[in-house]
Amino acid sequence: MASKKQVLKKRGPRPAQGPPETKEDFENELKTLAGQAKNNTWAQWAKQQVAVYGQATALIVLTAVYANVSVLTLSPVYGQIAANRLHQYVVWAGLFVGWAGNLFLRRALPVKTITILPLIALQIPMLQYYLFALSHIFGVEYGPAITEAVTLFPLVVVSASCIADILDQADLGRLPSSIANPAPGIVSYMIFRYSETSFFGQLVEQMGTSFMQTRMALELVLAATYSIMGRSQLLRYAVPGIVHVLVYNTHLMTESATASRNSTLNANGWSLVDRWESNTGYISVLDSYANGYRVMRCDHSLLGGEWTKFGRDIVAEPVYSVFTQLEAIRLVQVPEKVPDNEAHALNIGLGIGTTPSALISHGIDTTIVEIDPIVYKFAGMYFGLPPNHTAVIEDVVSWSQRNGPTLHEYYEYIVHDVFTGGAEPVDLFTDTFLKGLEQMLKPNGVIVINYAGDFTLPPLSIVVHTIRDIFPSCRIFRENEPPAKDKVEEAGQDFDNVMIFCIKTDNEITFREPVEGDYLKSISRRQFLVPKQEVPLSAFSTRDEVGILRANETEKLAKWHDQSALRHWNVMRTVIPGEIWNQCRAG
């Protein structure tokens, strides 16, 4: 508490009203001065504590957001699931080391720890650029963790240390030591986890809505924020990282960066036609001059492709026969079948639009529900998706819940074709969602569900059993001829597209013989339109872990995603060379 002399000095000279006339007046004035001094002290204390907690909270939130952006940046190279698999371990280790080693770092570093943060953040994009080029060496299992150990881990360590430094100034003297000692760390972690969880969904939802909402741009914005918080002359040492991003880093989503990347790709017989980021991942369109085809990519998955060397008449020639075989939904024989120009189709999941393009070309009134606006945009711009259809750019679960009652028994055909990164959107394979589709299907309607899965893992069997629990009659086909048993044992996997054709009655499913008009003047459809590789029910597991996928039991399927995604990454690296995956990614 300030002394009377100090308080009088702060107040300045007393107005000319004379000294206190009585002892009582003197005591009253002392009390007034003491109260004012006490109020000043409390105001200063409160201001200081607000500054301490505000700065600490800002740094916690900033670090949590950067952790989110880091894992999003990994997904184009390793896939979203693989990128997430060990991410939390890297973060937890960084938080623990930074908090526990705070005193050591404070003594070891010749400068304040907060001034180091901008230097680390501004070098991360450059480090990622070179580390991603080594993904084929690191592999999908540990590559993401290795990359984040070099980039995100140091940032989290120093951030945690800075937060501990700031909170050392917090006044917790009124709390018992048993609470005051662990409270800063516990509360800081709770804020961090809440921020990390809540902001991730917002980042994904807003991804690609502007240049500043792209992965590398977000890294630069966050690095600039660190620079503001930790201003110092040390920032001059960040120049190499800044120059690399602006001049050499082709992962930046600019036209000049794309042109620079193409100078390398063209030498290898490839071209990056277009790219952008969206709510499902990094979307790009690639041309292979050497092989004469074009593909669309989402993160580390291919959404489809078409042959460019054959040209286009009515529809394009698809690279993957599975999308042609899905068109066989029109060939399923049902009673009182309506002609194409009177039929309605619902296509869930667009890809490059191979199947819906064919349905539209046959004159079927087609509704396409696709969650990713960039996928829809690129399908029209680069893969010839006909404009005469109804487009719904929305999550199909929300759309079906809202529109299901008005679309009761409305569609003759439903095509369910969703997949990304070695794992399916689990909600789209639950009994609740599939039952909703069954109610939208006319009594004589047909549904086909494409599931890309591994015959050696339970998820495929879970999905098949769930579908057959809802639809009384189904036939199941795989895209390719099954490999020999010894080949499966050697590879440790049997990954393929599986098409499940179902109807609402208990009748046997049969396909009529195609006529000339079914082929749409397409060579590939003439060869692949009718599915041939039928799969018996005995090929699917009936073990205890296999059952119906209920809406409240999605973990039954999700727990296998890690293993499935790792296998899928290896498959993708045989489809397109690893260096092309890396060179065509976005930061």
DSSP annotation string for 165-228 = HHHTT---TTS-HHHHTTHHHHHHHHHHHHHHHHHHHHHHHHTTSSGGGSHHHHHHHHHHHHHH
Domain boundary, last residue among 182, 205, 232 = 232
Task: Please indicate, yes or no, if residue 327 is contained in any of the structural domains.
Answer: yes
Of 42-51, 100-109, 366-375, the range with the highest mean pLDDT is 366-375
pLDDT band at 561 (very low <50, low <70, confident <90, very high): confident
Asked if 161 and 48 sit in the same domain, the reply is yes
| Strand partners for 275 | 284
C-alpha–C-alpha distance, residues 134 and 581, integer Å = 11
Asked whether the predicted pLDDT for residue 26 surpasses 70, the reply is: no
Long-range contact set of residues 394-402: C-beta below 8 Å, sequence gap at least 24? 394/369, 395/371, 396/348, 396/349, 396/369, 396/371, 396/428, 397/427, 397/428, 397/433, 399/369, 400/433, 400/436, 400/437, 400/440, 401/436
pLDDT band at 169 (very low <50, low <70, confident <90, very high): confident
pLDDT over 70, % of the chain: 91
Q: What is the pLDDT of residue 210?
A: 93
Domain boundary, last residue among 184, 205, 232 = 232
Render pLDDT for 455-465 as a digit per residue (tens, 0 to 9).
998 999 999 99
C-alpha–C-alpha distance, residues 562 and 303, integer Å = 20
Q: What is the pLDDT of residue 14?
A: 47
Mean pLDDT over the full length of the chain = 89
Q: What is the mean pLDDT of residues 216-245?
A: 89
Asked whether the predicted pLDDT for residue 517 surpasses 50, the reply is: yes
Task: Please indicate, yes or no, if residue 527 is contained in any of the structural domains.
Answer: yes
The CATH number linked to 396 is 3.40.50.150
Asked if 366 and 471 sit in the same domain, the reply is yes
The H-assigned helical ranges of 285-362 are: 321-326, 354-361
Asked if 325 and 195 sit in the same domain, the reply is no
Q: Can you give the residue range of the structural domain that contains 466?
A: 320-578
Q: What is the pLDDT of residue 337?
A: 95
Asked whether the predicted pLDDT for residue 580 surpasses 90, the reply is: no
Q: What is the mean pLDDT of residues 79-95?
A: 95
Task: Please indicate, yes or no, if residue 101 is contained in any of the structural domains.
Answer: yes
Asked if 224 and 332 sit in the same domain, the reply is no
The residue type at 216: M
Asked whether the predicted pLDDT for residue 581 surpasses 80, the reply is: no
Q: What is the pLDDT of residue 586?
A: 41
Asked if 215 and 354 sit in the same domain, the reply is no
Q: What is the pLDDT of residue 10?
A: 42
Residue closest to 78 by CA, chosen among 150, 151, 125, 147:
147
Task: Please indicate, yes or no, if residue 511 is contained in any of the structural domains.
Answer: yes
Contacts of 60 (CB under 8 A, 6+ apart): 163, 188, 191, 192, 195
Render pLDDT for 110-164 as a digit per residue (tens, 0 to 9).
888 899 999 999 999 999 999 998 998 999 999 999 999 999 999 999 999 999 9
Asked if 74 and 175 sit in the same domain, the reply is yes
Q: What is the pLDDT of residue 82?
A: 93
Asked if 225 and 325 sit in the same domain, the reply is no
Asked whether the predicted pLDDT for residue 27 surpasses 70, the reply is: no
Structure-model confidence comparison of residues 174 and 13, the more confident one:
174
Structure-model confidence comparison of residues 576 and 92, the more confident one:
92
Q: What is the mean pLDDT of residues 380-398?
A: 96
Asked if 183 and 328 sit in the same domain, the reply is no
Asked whether the predicted pLDDT for residue 87 surpasses 90, the reply is: yes
Q: What is the pLDDT of residue 1?
A: 41
Asked if 369 and 489 sit in the same domain, the reply is yes
The torsion angles phi and psi of 267, rounded to 5 degrees, stand at -65, -20
Structure-model confidence comparison of residues 248 and 162, the more confident one:
162
Number of domains present in the structure of the chain: 2
Asked whether the predicted pLDDT for residue 420 surpasses 80, the reply is: no
Asked whether the predicted pLDDT for residue 75 surpasses 70, the reply is: yes
pLDDT band at 3 (very low <50, low <70, confident <90, very high): very low
Asked if 188 and 328 sit in the same domain, the reply is no
Task: Please indicate, yes or no, if residue 36 is contained in any of the structural domains.
Answer: no
C-alpha–C-alpha distance, residues 264 and 272, integer Å = 10
Asked whether the predicted pLDDT for residue 4 surpasses 60, the reply is: no
pLDDT band at 256 (very low <50, low <70, confident <90, very high): confident
Residue closest to 230 by CA, chosen among 153, 161, 141:
161
Of 45-54, 174-183, 363-372, 562-571, the range with the highest mean pLDDT is 363-372
Task: Please indicate, yes or no, if residue 408 is contained in any of the structural domains.
Answer: yes
Task: Please indicate, yes or no, if residue 426 is contained in any of the structural domains.
Answer: yes
Asked if 355 and 479 sit in the same domain, the reply is yes
Asked if 330 and 201 sit in the same domain, the reply is no
Domain boundary, last residue among 232, 251, 283 = 232
Task: Please indicate, yes or no, if residue 18 is contained in any of the structural domains.
Answer: no
